[in-house]
C-alpha cells in the first residue's frame, strides 16, 4: 500500500523546528556571525576592584607574586593596597597563628606587618644560630640575651618564629630547637615578671587570687599554653554546674538568679551555707576533686591549670580554686595562712570580727570540711597562737605558693629540680627583692651549678650592702667565684680528641652511639669520652670505681640518660643497645643536631671536638639488627643484606640476634665486611642513578621494587654512602 502523500508546505505551514516556542510560536533566527574581527576580551585591569581582590586572594600567589602584580599598573596596585584584603590574606596564609593579635575592625597596614614579621624571622634565626657557637661550653649567661632585650621588632613576631622552629620535624634541627626553647623561655618569663610587678602594685582588693596563681603557673611553665582567660573559663564551667545544682535545691536562691557580670554578695548565713553545700557536692562528689595524698610533693599540685586538669592538688591550690568559686557565687571566704595546712575561713558572726571563734575554717584539701578552732589544732597536731588564724593577703598567698615550690626544688638534686629552684627564687625575689636569706640561696645555687659567675658577684655585693654581718659567707663565695672567672679566662680553645692517637687506642665507643648500661639497664647516648677517669679522688672513692675490674684507668664516657640525668660511665659497664631509641633528655639538642634512627648526629661544635667519631659511629651502627633491618627495607632483593647473609650461612630465614667473633671467623664474608662492600656498591649505584639513570644491570623487577621506596629512603641511602670509611676498632 502506497504511503500517503505529504502535505505541501503551503498547506501546513513550515515544519516545526526546535526553535519553535510554545503553541507554535516561532522564535527569530540567530544573528549571523560577525564578519569583522572579534572584540578583544576585557583586560584584568578593567575588572571591578572587588573582583581583583578576590582573584589576588584565592589564587596560589605568594608575597613576591603579589608585589610584582602591584607593579604592573595603577588598577592592580590599588587592588593590592597595603591596608587591603590581599596583604591581610598573605599574612594569614604565611603565619596563621598571628591573626589572634588583630581585630576585624582594626585599620592595619598589612604590608608593613608582613615586612616586620619577615624581618623578625630572619633576626630570630640569626640569633638562634649564633647561640650554639657562643654558649656550647657554658650555660647561657644573663647578658647572653642582650640582643633579644633590644629587639626593634614586636616581640610576638619574634616568638612566632621561635615557635615555628620548635614545630620543625621531630628528629631534626635539635640544636636549633634547644636554643630556640631557651630564648622563648627567657622572653616569656621576662614578660610574666613585668605582669607580676604590675599585679603587686594594685590595691589589695583588686588583686585576684586566681590571677596570681596563674602568673606563678605561667612563670614556672613558660612554654605551656596557659592564660588567665582559659583558666577562668574552666572555673566558670564549675560555677555553672554549682548554680545548676543549687537551682534544683532552691530555685529562688540569689546565686541562681544572678546576672552575668553582676557582683553578688549573699548576706544571709543560711543562703551562704546552701552555696557551700552545693559547691562541696559538685566539686568532691560530682567532679571528684580531691587532695593528692599519694604524690603530695609533686610540683604539678601547685599549678592551678594542672589542678583543673587532674582535679587534685595540695591545700593552698585547692583553696584558691574553692575561694574563687565561692566569691563568684556571692559567698565571701578569706584565706588563712595556717601553718602546715592552708585553710579558708567563713564568718559566722559579725562581718569583720577579730574573734577567731566567730569563724568556721574550711579545709578544701579535706573535701570542704568545716572545722572549729580546736579541730584546726588537731589537724596539725599542736597548738598555735591567734595570729595564725588571721586573713592572708594576696601577696602572702603567692609567697606561700612559691615557698612550696622552693621546698620541692630543694628535695631533689636533678636538673629539673634545679630549674624549679631557680624559677621559684626569681618569683620570691620579685616579691621580696631584699630578702637576704633567699638572695644568699640564689648565689649559692648559681655557684654550685657553676653558671653566671658575674651574676653571683652582683648578688653577693647586694647582700653585703643589705647585711654586713654576712661578710664571712660573702667573702668566701666572692673569692671562689673570682677564681672561677680567672680559670675560665685562662682556658684555651676546645680540646680536640682523636681516636687515631696512640693514647686513645683503648677507646672502643664513639660520640652519638646509643648504649645500654649493663648493671643498671638505662639507655643513654654518648656525648663525650676520656681515655681514663678524669674525676677527682673523692668522686672515684664515692662511686667505688676501684672495685671495677679495670678500675679508673679504663675509658670513661659522658652520657645523657633517658631519665634526664647526665652520667660518667666506665667502658666496661656499657654495651651497644641492640634496639636503639630516642633519648628524651632536655640537653640532647645542646650536643646533637639530629636523631638518625640508630644513632645521633653531633652538631658542629661537638663534631669539632670529636672529628673522627661520626665515621666510627656510622660503622658501628651497622652491627645492630635494627640497622640491618633498615637496609633490608630500602634495598632491592639482589642487594638485600639480610637475604644475602642468610643465603651464605644457610640460616633458612633465621636472623642472628648478634654477631659473634666465632661466626665471623668461620665464614669468608663476615657481616661487617659484607656490609662495607655493600655500602660501597650502594654508593656507586646511587651515584649512577642520580646522574645518568638506573644502570642496565637492573632488570624491570628490580627497578620497580627499588623505585617504590626511593623517595622515602633516599636520605638513608645517602647516609649509607658515608659508611665506606670504616676502619677496625679495638
Which domains are assigned to the chain?
46-94 (no CATH), 112-201 (no CATH), 223-394 (no CATH), 434-491 (no CATH), 502-617 (2.30.30.390), 624-725 (no CATH)
DSSP character at residue 341: S
Nearest-angstrom CA–CA distance, 248 and 256:
10
Chain-centroid distance, C-alpha 213: 22
CB 362 within 8 Å of CB 371: yes
Give the pairing of strands 523-530 and 514-517: antiparallel
Residue 4, number of CB atoms within 10 A of its CB: 6
Q: What is the mean pLDDT of residues 380-400?
A: 92
- Tell me what pLDDT residue 9 has: 44
d(CA 614, CA 48): 62
* C-alpha dihedral sign at 704, 709, 711, 717: negative
Residue-level pLDDT at 141:
60
Residue 729 has pLDDT above 50, yes or no: no
Which stretch of 163-167, 607-611, 654-658 has the lowest confidence by average pLDDT? 654-658
Q: Where are the strands (E) in 482-598, listed by range? A: 514-517, 523-530, 556-561, 566-570, 574-576, 592-595
Region of 48 on the Ramachandran plot (φ > 0 left; ψ -120 to 50 alpha; else beta): beta
pLDDT-derived band at 627, boundaries 50, 70, 90: low
pLDDT tens profile 522-565: 999 999 999 999 999 999 999 999 999 999 999 999 999 999 88
What average pLDDT does range 676-687 have in this prediction?
A: 42
Give the model's pLDDT for residue 11. Answer: 44
What is the reported pLDDT for 75? Answer: 87
Average pLDDT on 601-620 reads: 94
Those residues with Cβ within 8 angstroms of residue 167's Cβ, 6 or more apart along the chain or in another chain: none
Which uninterrupted H or E stretch holds 601?
Answer: strand 600-602
In the prediction, which pLDDT does 311 show? 97
381 vs 383: CA distance, rounded Å: 7
Going by pLDDT thresholds of 50, 70 and 90, the confidence category of residue 179 is: very high
600: β partners = 595
The pLDDT value given to residue 667: 35
User: At a CB cut-off of 8 Å and minimum separation 6, what does 87 contact?
Assistant: 66, 80, 81, 110, 111, 113, 114
If you ran DSSP here, which 8-state letter would residue 265 be given?
Answer: -
Among 218-227, 265-274, 359-368, 681-690, which is the least confidently predicted range? 681-690
Q: What is the pLDDT of residues 475-502, one digit of tens each?
A: 999 999 998 888 877 766 788 999 999 9
3-state secondary structure of 572: helix
**Are the C-beta atoms of 223 and 423 separated by less than 8 Å?**
no
Residue 484 burial by Cβ neighbours in a 10 Å radius (0-12, 13-18, 19+): middle
Query: What pTM does this model have?
Result: 0.75
Cβ–Cβ < 8 Å for 172, 147: no
So what's the pLDDT on residue 661?
36
Model confidence over 205-255: pLDDT tens digits?
899 999 999 999 999 999 998 999 999 999 999 999 999 999 999 998 999
Task: Look up cell 627495607; give the residue.
Answer: 633
Instruction: Output 575 or 264, whichever has higher pLDDT.
Output: 575
For 216, phi then psi, to 5°, come to: -65, -45
Q: Hey, what long-range contacts does 257-266 have (CB within 8 A, 24 or more apart)?
A: 258/329, 258/330, 264/329, 264/330, 265/330, 265/332, 266/329, 266/330, 266/331
The answer to whether the beta carbons of residues 591 and 610 sit under 8 Å apart is no
Three cell numbers, residue 663: 661466626
In this prediction, residue 79 carries a pLDDT of 86
pLDDT, tens digit, 9 for 90 and up, residues 404-457: 999 999 887 777 778 899 999 999 999 999 999 999 999 999 888 888 888 899
Determine whether 610 is exposed, middle or buried from the number of CB atoms within 10 Å of its CB (0-12, 13-18, 19+).
buried
> How many Å apart are CA 123 and CA 129, to the nearest integer?
10
CA geometry: angle at 36 spanning 34 and 38, to 5°? 75
Phi, psi of 181 (to 5 degrees): -65, -40
647 has a pLDDT exceeding 70: no
What is residue 454's predicted lDDT score, i.e. its pLDDT?
86
% of the chain surpassing 70 pLDDT: 79
> Model confidence at 24, in pLDDT bands (50, 70, 90)?
low
Amino acid at each position: 500500500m502506497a504511503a500517503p502523500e505529504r502535505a505541501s508546505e503551503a498547506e501546513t505551514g513550515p515544519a516545526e523546528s526546535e526553535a519553535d516556542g510554545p503553541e507554535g510560536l516561532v522564535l527569530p533566527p540567530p544573528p549571523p556571525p560577525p564578519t569583522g574581527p572579534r572584540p578583544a576580551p576585557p583586560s584584568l585591569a578593567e575588572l571591578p576592584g572587588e573582583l581583583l581582590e578576590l582573584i589576588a586572594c584565592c589564587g596560589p600567589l605568594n608575597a613576591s607574586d603579589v608585589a610584582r602584580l602591584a607593579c604592573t599598573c595603577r588598577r592592580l596596585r590599588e587592588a593590592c593596597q597595603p591596608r587591603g584584603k590581599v596583604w591581610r590574606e598573605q599574612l594569614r596564609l604565611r603565619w596563621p597563628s598571628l591573626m589572634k593579635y588583630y581585630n576585624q575592625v582594626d585599620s592595619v597596614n598589612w604590608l608593613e606587618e608582613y615586612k616586620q614579621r619577615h624581618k623578625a624571622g630572619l633576626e630570630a634565626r640569626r640569633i638562634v644560630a649564633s647561640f650554639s657557637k657562643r654558649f656550647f661550653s657554658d650555660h647561657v649567661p644573663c647578658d647572653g640575651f642582650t640582643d633579644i632585650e633590644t629587639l626593634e621588632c614586636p616581640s610576638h613576631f619574634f616568638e612566632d618564629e621561635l615557635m615555628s622552629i620548635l614545630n620543625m620535624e621531630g628528629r631534626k634541627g635539635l640544636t636549633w630547637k634547644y636554643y630556640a626553647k631557651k630564648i622563648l623561655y627567657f622572653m616569656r618569663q621576662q614578660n610574666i615578671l613585668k605582669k607580676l610587678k604590675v599585679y603587686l602594685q594594685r590595691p589589695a582588693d583588686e588583686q585576684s587570687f586566681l590571677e596570681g596563681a596563674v602568673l606563678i603557673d605561667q612563670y614556672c611553665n613558660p612554654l605551656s599554653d596557659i592564660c588567665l582567660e582559659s583558666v577562668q573559663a574552666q572555673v566558670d564551667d564549675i560555677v555553672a554546674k554549682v548554680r545548676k545544682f543549687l537551682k534544683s535545691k532552691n530555685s529562688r536562691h540569689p546565686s541562681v538568679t544572678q546576672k552575668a557580670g553582676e557582683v553578688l554578695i549573699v548576706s544571709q548565713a543560711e543562703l551562704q551555707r546552701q552555696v557551700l553545700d552545693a559547691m562541696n557536692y559538685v566539686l568532691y562528689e560530682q567532679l571528684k576533686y580531691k587532695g593528692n595524698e599519694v604524690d603530695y610533693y609533686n610540683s604539678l599540685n601547685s599549678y592551678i591549670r594542672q589542678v583543673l586538669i587532674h582535679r587534685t592538688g595540695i591545700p593552698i591550690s585547692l583553696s584558691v580554686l574553692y575561694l574563687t568559686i565561692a566569691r563568684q557565687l556571692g559567698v565571701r571566704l578569706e584565706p588563712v595562712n595556717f601553718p602546715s595546712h592552708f585553710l579558708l575561713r567563713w564568718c559566722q558572726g559579725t562581718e569583720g570580727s577579730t574573734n577567731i571563734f566567730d569563724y568556721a575554717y574550711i579545709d578544701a584539701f579535706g573535701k570542704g570540711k568545716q572545722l572549729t578552732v580546736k579541730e584546726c589544732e588537731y589537724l596539725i597536731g599542736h597548738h598555735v597562737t591567734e595570729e595564725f588564724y588571721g586573713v592572708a593577703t594576696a601577696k602572702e598567698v603567692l609567697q606561700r605558693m612559691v615557698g612550696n615550690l622552693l621546698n620541692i626544688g630543694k628535695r631533689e638534686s636533678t636538673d629539673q629540680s634545679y630549674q624549679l629552684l631557680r624559677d621559684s627564687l626569681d618569683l620570691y625575689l620579685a616579691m621580696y627583692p631584699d630578702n637576704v636569706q633567699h638572695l644568699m640561696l640564689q648565689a649559692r645555687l648559681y655557684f654550685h651549678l657553676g653558671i653566671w659567675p658575674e651574676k653571683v658577684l652582683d648578688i653577693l655585693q647586694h647582700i653585703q650592702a643589705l647585711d654586713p654581718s654576712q661578710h664571712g659567707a660573702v667573702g668566701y663565695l666572692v673569692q671562689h667565684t673570682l677564681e672561677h672567672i680567672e680559670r675560665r679566662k685562662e682556658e684555651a680553645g676546645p680540646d680536640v680528641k682523636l681516636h687515631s692517637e696512640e693514647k686513645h687506642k683503648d677507646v672502643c665507643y664513639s660520640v652519638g652511639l646509643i648504649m645500654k648500661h649493663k648493671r643498671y639497664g638505662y639507655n643513654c647516648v654518648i656525648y663525650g669520652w676520656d681515655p681514663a677517669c678524669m674525676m677527682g679522688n673523692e668522686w672515684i672513692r664515692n662511686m667505688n670505681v676501684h672495685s671495677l675490674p679495670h678500675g679508673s684507668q679504663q675509658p670513661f664516657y659522658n652520657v645523657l640518660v633517658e631519665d634526664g640525668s647526665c652520667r660518667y660511665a666506665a667502658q666496661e659497664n656499657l654495651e651497644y643497645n641492640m634496639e636503639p631509641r630516642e633519648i628524651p633528655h632536655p640537653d640532647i639538642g645542646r650536643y646533637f643536631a639530629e636523631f638518625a634512627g640508630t644513632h645521633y648526629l653531633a652538631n658542629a661544635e661537638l663534631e669539632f671536638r670529636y672529628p673522627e667519631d661520626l665515621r666510627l659511629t656510622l660503622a658501628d651502627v651497622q652491627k645492630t639488627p635494627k640497622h640491618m633491618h633498615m637496609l633490608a627495607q630500602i634495598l632491592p632483593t639482589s642487594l638485600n643484606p639480610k637475604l644475602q647473609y642468610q643465603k651464605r650461612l644457610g640460616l633458612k630465614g633465621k636472623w642472628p640476634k648478634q654477631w659473634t667473633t666465632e661466626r665471623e671467623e668461620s665464614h669468608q664474608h663476615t657481616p661487617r665486611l659484607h656490609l662495607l662492600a655493600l655500602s660501597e656498591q650502594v654508593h656507586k649505584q646511587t651515584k649512577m642513578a642520580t646522574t645518568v639513570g638506573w644502570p642496565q644491570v637492573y632488570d624491570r623487577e628490580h627497578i620497580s621494587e627499588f623505585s617504590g621506596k626511593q623517595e622515602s629512603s633516599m636520605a638513608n641511602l645517602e647516609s649509607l654512602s658515608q659508611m665506606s670509611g670504616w676502619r677496625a676498632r679495638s
